[in-house]
Amino acid sequence: MNDDLNRHGFAWVGNGSYARADSDGEDTIALDLRASQARFCVMIGHTPRDLAILGELHPEVAVQDRGFLCKPYLNPTGTSWNPRWWRTSDRGMAEKSLRDVLTCFEVVGLAWLGLLRNPEFYAEQTDPVAAIGSGLAHERAGNMSIARERYEEIMRRFSEIERMGGVRCFQEGWRDFIFVTAKLGIENDLVREVRVLAGWSPKIDPLPTKRG
């Protein structure tokens, strides 16, 4: 399998993952092996170069563990939000499963990665629950009203956190808070204090007022 993926420009990056980078961004293939259940699934995805700041929001998370913003699970007809499992109960079955995976990847997976190069298509495929990433993808595609809805949803969550215990105590969310308040043009004592606590104050362009 390594040789086949190498032929398509992918290199092993650890933890069951392969990646390739180009001028558009980075493609990832990840194998989720459940040895005790004798099965595995395959995830594929693309991270556009101009969404790279998402990786800065949680630097404690390794690149290969950051998840996928668009439906990632490879199957014979495309990708889905639900995994398609391949069996590995014995050597013969495992070899057959790997052949099937490579066929799926070359027939539909590569095409999917190609489609994700289109900003509008990419935005439409994002998971709205991952509201920061989805919002940024829609902003990139020019869908400003949807982007604002996503960012406002994140602020709603932070308002609840502030009510329950305080954003100051929610260290793992500090950078998310800094990012989304910058996007929405919110500047107050809490935002300034969290910037100091996080030691992170990047230049983040606010969401344009243009509706889309």
25-34/17-22 β-pairing: antiparallel
* Contacts of residue 18, Cβ cutoff 8 Å, sequence gap at least 6: 5, 10, 11, 12, 28, 29, 30
pLDDT at 212: 47
Tens digits of residue pLDDT in 149-190: 999 999 999 999 999 989 999 999 999 999 999 999 999 999
Tens digits of residue pLDDT in 63-86: 667 789 999 999 999 999 999 999
* Contacts of residue 31, Cβ cutoff 8 Å, sequence gap at least 6: 16, 17, 40, 41, 42, 43
Would you put residue 16 in left (φ > 0), alpha (ψ -120 to 50) or beta?
left
| Calpha distance 147→207 (Å, rounded) | 8
- Encode 23-49: b = buried (16+ Cβ within 10 Å), e = exposed: eebbbbbbbeeeeeeebbbbbbbbbbe
Domain boundaries, the chain: 2-117, 123-198
| Calpha distance 181→204 (Å, rounded) | 10
Long-range contacts of the stretch 17-22 (C-beta < 8 A, 24+): 17/64, 19/63, 19/64
Q: Indicate the pLDDT class of residue 193, thresholds 50, 70 and 90.
A: very high
pLDDT at 65: 76
DSSP SS3 for 43: strand
| Calpha distance 117→23 (Å, rounded) | 11
HSE (CB half, 13 Å, CA atoms) of 166? Answer: 5
* Contacts of residue 14, Cβ cutoff 8 Å, sequence gap at least 6: 64
